[in-house]
Homo-oligomer: A and B are copies of this chain.
Amino acid sequence: MSEAVSVPAALVPGQTIGILGGGQLGRMLAIAAARLGLRVHTFDPDPGCPAADVSKRLTVARFDDAAAVERFADSVDVITFEWESVPTEALRALADAPPIRPPAEAVCVLQDRLSEKRFLDGLGLRVAPFEPLDDPAQLEHALERIGLPAIVKTRHAGYDGKGQVRITCLDDLEPARALVAQQPCVLEGFVRFEREASVIAARSTDGAWTTYEPGENVHRDGILHTTRVPARLTGAQREQAVDIAERILTGLDYVGVLGVELFVTPADLLVNEVAPRVHNSGHWTEAGCQVDQFEQHIRAVAGWPLGPTTRHSDVTMENLIGDEVERWRQHLVNPTASLRLYGKSSVRPGRKMGHVNRVEGRRAS
């Protein structure tokens, strides 16, 4: 008898993708799924979450409600998520759970900033110097090794600059100690970078992988403001970005789309962080590629072949944050802009309300 090869199950149109998290990323994933004839069941604690508007079915429950998660898992054909802080342990504990894509093991590695950095370091990739901080007493010793300036980041659940304290002088030590006292952290050395870039990559159930062209990112107050393609990168830097993405995808036995944030220094590319999901810096693909990151993720988690990632247009993606959304009419009348709004009812400072893709040139083919 020949050895049996396990072929991961592929969905067929009409089957259901379960998405944990119903924010704007879930909303855009749900739309991508619907366009391919797949149904979506969203799980979110908020009945008014952005994805609720476009999901076939919605479960409103807390992510730590194990019974609700189990019922949800029973009702779907594959589980994915729009957000890395999903209850991976609870999911793995389910007896007859459908496939979880990306795999829970990969997400566990990336959920924890310390295990993420150790994983990247183990792949031979450059990251900022780091030290674990389990106790405020370790701070001074860690600072001696890392040097100033440095930054304390919580190991879990930080995003958009939340859960971070910069240390540039001794006055910053007190808030840094307070953060470490609350939860385990990592101390990171400051990287003097020329610019920030990111690469959106995808891997399918059969191990095929692909990357989109790197985008150049500008942050404001710790939140992504714009992504521009083409990024100002050399050919060698582009090749290195693809190589980094491939090593991460393969190292995690990944399925789905992920986003790799990079610091571009004169010498090298450093990996800042890896998000196991579609990524804000990949929204430009909607206007720049035939298959955008959302369709790509749905294809991957459905067990379908990946789509082409060739870029046909120069695009600047701009986030509409907080009251910037009030300028929506202005974007609507710009003939090069595509406006996307997330259906969030209340505007708050720092809240991502929508984005706009401006096409700045198109390539002939």
Contact = CB atoms under 8 A, between A and B. Distances in A.
A98 to B, nearest CB: 19
A307 B334 CA distance: 8
B362 A34 contact: no
Nearest to A328: B13
A340 B345 CA distance: 30
Interface string A267-295: 00000000000000000000100110000
A299 B323 CA distance: 22
A329 B52 CA distance: 29
A252 B152 CA distance: 65
A290 B359 contact: yes
Interface in A25-83: 27, 30-31, 34-40, 52-54, 56
Given A37-B343, A343-B34, A332 B304 contact: yes
Contacts of A345: 14
Q: How many copies does the complex hold?
A: 2
Contacts of A335: 290, 307-308
B37 A54 contact: no
Contacts of A361: 364-365
Nearest to A340: B35
Given A13-B328, A14-B345, A343-B14, A31 B35 contact: yes
Given A13-B343, A332-B305, A53 B31 contact: no
A29 to B, nearest CB: 12
A39 B53 contact: yes
A37 B362 CA distance: 27
Interface string A160-189: 000000000000000000000000000000
A307 B30 CA distance: 25
How many interface residues does chain A have, given as a range?
35 or more
Contact of A341 (B13, B325, B328): B13
What does DSSP make chain A's interface, helix, strand, loop or mixed?
Answer: mixed
A312 interface: yes
Contacts of A325: 13
A287 to B, nearest CB: 8
A97 interface: no
Contacts of A38: 343
A230 B118 CA distance: 55
B338 A290 contact: yes
6 closest A-B pairs by beta carbon, nearest first, are A37-B341, A364-B364, A362-B365, A308-B335, A53-B56, A54-B54
Given A37-B328, A37-B340, 5 more contacts: A290-B336, A304-B332, A308-B335, A361-B365, A362-B362
20 contacts: A13-B341, A31-B35, A31-B54, A35-B341, A37-B340, A37-B341, A37-B354, A38-B343, A39-B343, A40-B53, A52-B56, A54-B54, A290-B336, A291-B338, A304-B332, A307-B332, A307-B335, A361-B365, A362-B363, A362-B364
